[in-house]
Amino acid sequence: MIVLVTVNHNYTYELSDIIRMYFGKEEIKFLSQEALEKNQSFLKAEAKIIICTLTLESKNVRYKAEMTEACQHFENTEEELLDAPNEKQLKHLAKKTLYKLLSQIYNKTYPWGILSGIRPIKIVHKLMDKNMSDNNIESVLRQDYLIAPDRADLALEIAERERTYISQYNPKKVSVYVGIPFCPSRCHYCSFTSNSIQSCSKYVQVYVDKLLTEIKEAAVYMKDNSFEVETVYIGGGTPTSLTAQQLEILLSSINDCFGNSFTEFTCEAGRPDTITEEKLHVLKNAGVSRLSINPQTMNDETLKLIGRAHSVKQIIDSFRLARRIGFNNINMDIILGLPGETMEHLRNTLISIKNLDPESITVHTMAVKRASILNEENNTDVLNNNMAEQMMEYTKSFMKHNQMHPYYLYRQKHMVQNLENIGYCKEGFECIYNIQIIEERQTNVAFGADAVTKLVTDLEAGIERQHNIKELKLYIDNVEAMIQKKLTLLNKIQHKEISNS
């Protein structure tokens, strides 16, 4: 057990992020200084005690983190915060000081330093907006966030590539997401909204009908108010779990509603066990320009272990079929750190995928989320997988060697070794939707169960969200209310336009 005592402040949420990097799932108990004194003898035997003290003096701010068990402490004095340091700066100082203490005690640093769950490239874009030089941005990343030099370089490289797509902010230019929350079976690492297409069969058609209602009503508003849809992304779940007829109706409605002239139209066909020739023809005829066929691994034994009811051969056959039908922009997702996988498994996955020659490969690091079967099984084998970092490094050199460049990056909580997810692509095959959704500089209008519409009225203001209900039956019963909430949110763009004119 970790006992965290905060003195003169209450930044327990921020400090817990750092504690979890070093102690994983170990229980954290929060105590006041008085409670600590009362229970000291008991706690000494039972727990690691961390005391974090903030001292605000007239001349400076001091922050001290100490770990009594290790008899070590680290103290930071931030002279530059002299004038009325704000809460955000103090929280940052708290995280940084505790990170320095723990990295000193355990002789371990993490590639993204004190960043936990924050999108690193967003920080770079904000600094670029201020016309800061690359050298200065790199210093901020390394000194303020304690990011490792190679990750700072990677963040800059990706931000520069993304800049082409995100530098022009237009409040009326949006992306559209459509969620299909059905899959043939549940992958053991999955934390997405995914219902078994078999056990929910009686809801599938009614879900599609309600989804179409939601899309059509929002589209009328968007058309009347001159919104322009730049990209469309159909995700899930597995959209190709639907029948060819259902897909045809859905796709033609999307085209009718949003004008059929998107820069990019992606459909996930994640699970090869849902792909048929007929469905691929439907997607192609409807103008889908980018397809995602996601193996996660090219090793049959791992596919079984993670609950994917298909073989490597099915992945290869589906990919080749999609090529024959004319898809010339295919993405494949893989995951590093899957249970039981070694470097040999990874090499096999990368070589097998390279032989297929997709236009992009998205590399995820295993993240054991609360809602996943792996977490329920308490699969610590995965959590303690020290190989993930080695795998990430190997993958980076493999991609470089094969002229696939990194074009977007994001991180999540609970990722093995606190690493990252990186999208790689051949030159000119960046997925614009992915860049926009991660950097959050464009409004995303999202439809379907658990979809989240994100409104960006300007780049300085925060994002406003409208969450659709996650549970299938409740979504079906309440779609009208969600439509109204979505329109109310979108109306804020309209209001802003009027007040600015």
**Binding test (CB under 6 A) with ligand SF4, winner from 93, 101, 141, 190:** 190
Q: Is the peptide bond before 237 cis (omega within 30 degrees of 0)?
A: yes
**Binding test (CB under 6 A) with ligand SF4, winner from 43, 115, 155, 187:** 187
Residue 237, interface with ligand SF4 (CB under 6 A)?
yes
Residues forming beta bridges with residue 61, ordered by sequence position = 56, 78
Task: Tally the C-alpha atoms within 13 A of residue 352's C-alpha that lie toward its C-beta.
Answer: 24
**Binding test (CB under 6 A) with ligand SF4, winner from 172, 186, 216, 323:** 186
Q: Which helix (H) or strand (E) holds 422?
A: strand 421-425
- CA-to-CA distance for 123 and 496, rounded, in angstroms? 26
- CA-to-CA distance for 432 and 166, rounded, in angstroms? 9
Q: How far is the CB of 368 from ligand SF4 (least distance, A)?
A: 13
**Binding test (CB under 6 A) with ligand SF4, winner from 97, 175, 194, 246:** 194
* CA-CA-CA-CA torsion sign (363, 368, 371, 374): positive
Which range of residues in 225-233, 235-243, 283-291, 353-361 is near ligand SF4 by CB under 6 A?
A: 235-243
Output 171 or 237, the one with its CB closest to ligand SF4.
Answer: 237
Contact 183, 197 (CB under 8 A): yes
**Binding test (CB under 6 A) with ligand SF4, winner from 165, 192, 207, 407:** 192
Q: Using CB atoms within 10 A of its CB, is residue 195 exposed (0-12), middle (13-18) or buried (19+)?
A: buried
Contact 297, 260 (CB under 8 A): no
**Binding test (CB under 6 A) with ligand SF4, winner from 179, 239, 270, 337:** 270
Which range of residues in 38-46, 101-109, 187-195, 444-452 is near ligand SF4 by CB under 6 A?
A: 187-195
Q: How far is the CB of 117 from ligand SF4 (least distance, A)?
A: 20
Q: How far is the CB of 333 from ligand SF4 (least distance, A)?
A: 9
Q: How far is the CB of 454 from ligand SF4 (least distance, A)?
A: 20
Q: What angle separates helix 149-166 from helix 432-439, to the nearest 10 degrees? A: 110
Contact 80, 60 (CB under 8 A): no
Residue 183, interface with ligand SF4 (CB under 6 A)?
yes
Output 113 or 448, the one with its CB closest to ligand SF4.
Answer: 448
Output 184 or 259, the one with its CB closest to ligand SF4.
Answer: 184
Report the residue number whose CB is nearest to ligand SF4.
190
- CA-to-CA distance for 65 and 76, rounded, in angstroms? 9
Residue 318, interface with ligand SF4 (CB under 6 A)?
no
Beta-carbon contacts of 98 under 8 Å, excluding residues fewer than 6 positions away, are 15, 18, 19, 50, 52, 65, 74
Contact 413, 117 (CB under 8 A): yes
Q: Which helix (H) or strand (E) holds 268?
A: strand 264-268
Residue 310, interface with ligand SF4 (CB under 6 A)?
no
**Binding test (CB under 6 A) with ligand SF4, winner from 125, 151, 271, 279:** 271
Q: How far is the CB of 194 from ligand SF4 (least distance, A)?
A: 4
Q: How far is the CB of 92 from ligand SF4 (least distance, A)?
A: 34
Buried b (16+ CB within 10 A) or exposed e, 163-172: eebbeeeebe
Q: How far is the CB of 320 from ligand SF4 (least distance, A)?
A: 21
Output 270 or 337, the one with its CB closest to ligand SF4.
Answer: 270
Buried b (16+ CB within 10 A) or exposed e, 232-244: bbbbbbbbbbbbe
- CA-to-CA distance for 430 and 48, rounded, in angstroms? 46
CA gyration radius, the chain: 24
Residue 448, interface with ligand SF4 (CB under 6 A)?
no
Distances (CA, A) of 76 to 64, 90, 92, 206, 424: 6, 11, 11, 59, 39
Q: How far is the CB of 35 from ligand SF4 (least distance, A)?
A: 43
Which range of residues in 33-41, 84-92, 164-172, 190-198 is near ligand SF4 by CB under 6 A?
A: 190-198
Beta-carbon contacts of 233 under 8 Å, excluding residues fewer than 6 positions away, are 175, 176, 177, 178, 266, 267, 268, 433, 437
Which range of residues in 52-60, 160-168, 232-240, 339-347 is near ligand SF4 by CB under 6 A?
A: 232-240
Beta-carbon contacts of 101 under 8 Å, excluding residues fewer than 6 positions away, are 50, 65, 66, 67, 72, 73, 74
Output 120 or 448, the one with its CB closest to ligand SF4.
Answer: 448
Output 123 or 306, the one with its CB closest to ligand SF4.
Answer: 306
Q: How far is the CB of 290 from ligand SF4 (least distance, A)?
A: 17
Residue 367, interface with ligand SF4 (CB under 6 A)?
no
Residue 238, interface with ligand SF4 (CB under 6 A)?
yes
Output 240 or 246, the one with its CB closest to ligand SF4.
Answer: 240
Contact 293, 238 (CB under 8 A): no
How many residues make contact with ligand SF4 (CB under 6 A)?
11
**Binding test (CB under 6 A) with ligand SF4, winner from 171, 236, 239, 448:** 236
Output 85 or 340, the one with its CB closest to ligand SF4.
Answer: 340
Q: Which residue ranges make up the site for ligand SF4 (CB under 6 A)?
A: 183, 186-187, 190, 192, 194, 236-238, 270-271
